[in-house]
Structure 1
Amino acid sequence: MQHDKPSLTLGARIRALRRARGLTQDRLANSTGVSRSAVAQWESDRAGHSTGMLRRLADVLGVSVNTLNDGWDTTATDTVLTPHELALIHLYRTCNEEDRAVLMQVASKIAASTRID
């Protein structure tokens, strides 16, 4: 089945996804490592986006890059990230490599101890 792509601009999609996730421009900016002004410029289509930034935006907004960039991806399994998940992503990104390794070890141990087989 062929679907028409939505007519929203990239900026409008970013704004709609941000609002749907209950994020402020400040929170999205902090989660992606940019200023609130940069988010406002993206949402108004006054600034471009690098491929790396699109990936970070997609991660934070809980969608695929295709969904973010093209507005339609029939293979996407878009999930909404909770505020705690966003906070963990932000913490991970602000750590150095050694601390990231420690975070991964702790998270793996917690996940293993809470698995129900």
Structure 2
Amino acid sequence: MGASNGRWRYYQEWNNATFLHWQVDYDELVKLVPDDLEIDLFKGKPWVSLVAFTMEKIRSRNLPYFSPVSNFDEINIRTYVKYNNKAGVYFRSIEGGAKISCQVAKSLSELPTDTQG
């Protein structure tokens, strides 16, 4: 994960995952997505998902995982997009259960993060 050259940079597990999906109004969703992204439709409709899971064993390629930092609960709210005809995910919100874990995840993934703890 996390490398475009085929070599992985970090490892993570998503365990006990729950995905909840809602069909939403296109005109409302497009207001929340950057202009350079195209909303990806499923059967002609846009969707938003809430995903809750336990992130475990996050570690860099050359380091072992450390439970107090590597394991935490996360919730994210996302929609599905395309950029230059390539499918992807746009995260509207990423919430993590431990501040230090969110800081580590942000540094590894370059994704925006927030924390409750």
TM-score, normalising length from structure 2?
A: 0.22
Q: Whose helix proportion is higher, 1 or 2? A: 1
